[in-house]
A and B are shown apart, each in its own frame.
Chain A
C-alpha cells in the first residue's frame, strides 16, 4: 500500500487510501513502519488522513492499534482525521474512538496534536502546497 505523507512542523500527515482489510494489512504495517519509527521520522506525532479510506476491518484496526502502541512507547501521539461517515461508524462501534483521537478535518487533527504544526499547515495551504 502506498501512503503519501507530508510534514507540517512536528506532525507527519499520512494518507492511506482504499480498503484496509486482511488483504493489505501487512502492506499497511510496512508502509507505516518508517512513520512510527521516531528516529526515522523525527516528528513527534502522526496524523492519518483517512479521507481516502473506504473501509477498515478488524485486522486493519489492529494495525492502527499496534502503531499507536509503538508511538506511545516513544511518547509520541497519533490521530485520525477526516474519516468517511461509514469508517467513522466502524471506529465508534468497535470503540476504537476511545483510544484514537478522531477529528473531522485534517486541519483540526493537526491542531489537536500540535498548534505550531497547524500554523505550518496554514502557511503551506496559503502557499498552495499540494
Chain B
C-alpha cells in the first residue's frame, strides 16, 4: 500500500508568504557561504542537504489523503482543499477516461469538505464517486456548502455519478479491495477514524480526534483500534499543554498522546497530521524533532518511527 498526502493542514488552508520565502532563501544562501557550487549537480546536492524546513515546506492544503491499495480505483480520506490538486493529477494521468473514487469522510467540518466544489472529476459524467461516512448529515452538508449564496455552482452541477454510503462503527466493510472499519471519535459533532487493511498491511486515519486523559477506557479503545498498524495518521495539532488547557474541548490532540497510544498499540509508524495553521515550517520541524526524541526516551519496546506529513509526501508500506 502507498499513502500520498495532498493536504495536511488543519482547520484552514494556509500559504507561504513572501517573507517566508525570503527567509528560506536567506537561510540557504547563508549556508552556502564559502562553498563552491560550480555546476548544477553541486547546487542540487547542496539543496538536497538542506533541512526540510529551509529547502521545502509542509504545505498548506487542508486534509486530503490518498491511499493506494493496489487496485485501479482511487481511495481518498477527506475532501479538504488538497483534493483540487489530486483531481488535476487524475485528469493529467487519465484525461477523460472515467474513474471510480472511494472517499471516506472523517466529518463534515468545512476544512474537510471544502475541496469538493473544486474537484474537477466530480463535474465529469462517467466518473463514479462513492462518499462514505458515519454522519447522517453527510450528503446534506456537501449539498449545502454549494448552495447559494455560499457558492455559485450548485451540487446538481456535479455530473459524475455520486453515491453516499452511511457506515456504522463496529462493522467490517469490503471496499476497493480493503477491509474497512471505523470508530467514532471525540470532536464537536463527532468525527470518525478509519482503519484500512489490505495485503497484510494496515493504515489508520484518525484526525480531528481529542483524547480524554481522564478516560482510560476510551484510551484502551483507541489502542485496540490502532493495534499493530503499519501506519497511524494522527491529529497532532497542538502541544500537550495546549490540548488539555486553553484548547481543551477544541477536538484535537497532541504529539505526546499520539506517541503514547501508538507505543501501547505497538504501531510501526506514527505520522503527525492536521498541522496547526499558525505553525511555521520551522516550528513543525522542531515538533518533529522533539517528538522523535520523546519516542526515544520513553521507548520500552520496538522503536516507533515518527514522521510529519507534508503536502506531496508519500509513504510506502
Q: Which residues of A contact B (CB under 8 A)?
A: 22, 55, 57-59, 61-62, 65, 86, 89-90, 92-96, 98-99
Q: Identify the closest chain B residue to A25 (Cβ).
A: B213
Q: Identify the closest chain B residue to A98 (Cβ).
A: B241
User: Are B297 and A90 in contact (CB-based, < 8 A)?
Assistant: yes
User: Are B291 and A93 in contact (CB-based, < 8 A)?
Assistant: yes
User: Are B241 and A93 in contact (CB-based, < 8 A)?
Assistant: no
User: Are A99 and B291 in contact (CB-based, < 8 A)?
Assistant: no
Nearest 7 A/B pairs, CB to CB? A94-B240, A95-B239, A95-B241, A62-B213, A93-B290, A93-B294, A59-B213
User: Are B245 and A61 in contact (CB-based, < 8 A)?
Assistant: no
Across-interface contacts of B17 in A (CB, < 8 A)? none
Contact with A along B209-220 (1 / 0, CB 8 A): 000011010010
Using C-beta atoms within 8 Å of the partner chain, give the interface range for chain B.
Answer: 20 to 34
User: Are B240 and A58 in contact (CB-based, < 8 A)?
Assistant: yes
Secondary structure at chain B's binding surface: helix, strand, loop or mixed?
helix
Q: Which B230-272 residues have a C-beta within 8 angstroms of A? A: 239-242, 244-245, 254-257, 260
Contacts known (A94-B239, A94-B240, A95-B241); A89 close to B293, Cβ less than 8 A: yes
Across-interface contacts of A99 in B (CB, < 8 A)? 241, 245
Q: Identify the closest chain B residue to A62 (Cβ).
A: B213
Q: Which B126-142 residues have a C-beta within 8 angstroms of A? A: none
User: Are B214 and A58 in contact (CB-based, < 8 A)?
Assistant: no
Q: Is the C-beta of B298 less than 8 angstroms from some C-beta in chain A?
A: yes
User: Smallest distance from the beta carbon of B221 to chain A beta carbons, Å?
Assistant: 14
User: Are A22 and B219 in contact (CB-based, < 8 A)?
Assistant: yes
User: Are B293 and A93 in contact (CB-based, < 8 A)?
Assistant: yes
- CA gap between A65 and B213 in the complex, in Å: 11
- CA gap between A55 and B245 in the complex, in Å: 21
User: Are A62 and B257 in contact (CB-based, < 8 A)?
Assistant: no
Across-interface contacts of A22 in B (CB, < 8 A)? 216, 219
Instruction: Knowing that A57-B260, A62-B214, A89-B297 touch, tell me 17 more A-B residue pairs with CB under 8 angstroms.
Output: A58-B213, A58-B257, A59-B213, A59-B216, A62-B244, A65-B241, A65-B244, A86-B297, A89-B293, A89-B294, A93-B291, A94-B241, A94-B256, A95-B240, A96-B240, A96-B241, A98-B241
